[in-house]
Amino acid sequence: MFGKKVHLQEDVILTIKRLPDSEFEIMDIIWDNPSPITTLQIMDKLGFGRQIKMQTLLTMLVRLIEKGFLTSERVGRERNYSPVVSKRDYMTIETESFMSRHYISSIGSLMQTFYSGRELSQNELTELQAWLAERGKGESE
């Protein structure tokens, strides 16, 4: 499923590949913060608990640029990074890939797999019901 082509804008198509966990962690920080974000801001968001050297971070950022996930612009002595692929697009492809790899044939099966042995909270049930109701509207129109 990975290797799926995503249309980013007119005449721009990117083939998305699955990210290693360390690169996903970097992208997650970038997605969850206002864009553009600097190298130092990313390093700060990683926190002290994550012992990563600046050179390692720079190497991962270069890889993410090469894979088409980021753009980079030099501003003075700093680099600014902006996402090219949205978190939603990536997570959609990641979920489809997971379902395909594990032969999960339906959303119901997926939900049973994720929640087997655990009760859903009332808030989770309400959110899920709202999502299902919204999805059902499109089919009845």
pLDDT, tens digit, 9 for 90 and up, residues 106-121:
777 777 777 777 888 8
Which amino acid, residue 88?
R
pLDDT score for 95? 79
pLDDT score for 48? 64
* Nearest one of 88, 76, 115, 101 to 28, comparing CA atoms: 88
Instruction: Please answer whether residues 40 and 135 qualify as being in contact, where contact means their C-beta atoms are separated by less than 8 angstroms.
Output: no
* Nearest one of 73, 49, 74, 59 to 26, comparing CA atoms: 59
The 8-class DSSP code of residue 6 comes to: E
Low-confidence ranges of the chain (pLDDT < 50): 1, 7, 9-13
Orientation angle between helical segments 39-46 and 54-66, nearest 10 degrees: 120
pLDDT score for 128? 84
Question: Residue 9: helix, strand or coil by DSSP?
Answer: strand
Count the helix, strand and coil residues of the chain and give each as a percent rounded to the nearest 5: 55, 20, 30
Architecture of domain 4-83 in CATH?
A: Orthogonal Bundle (1.10)
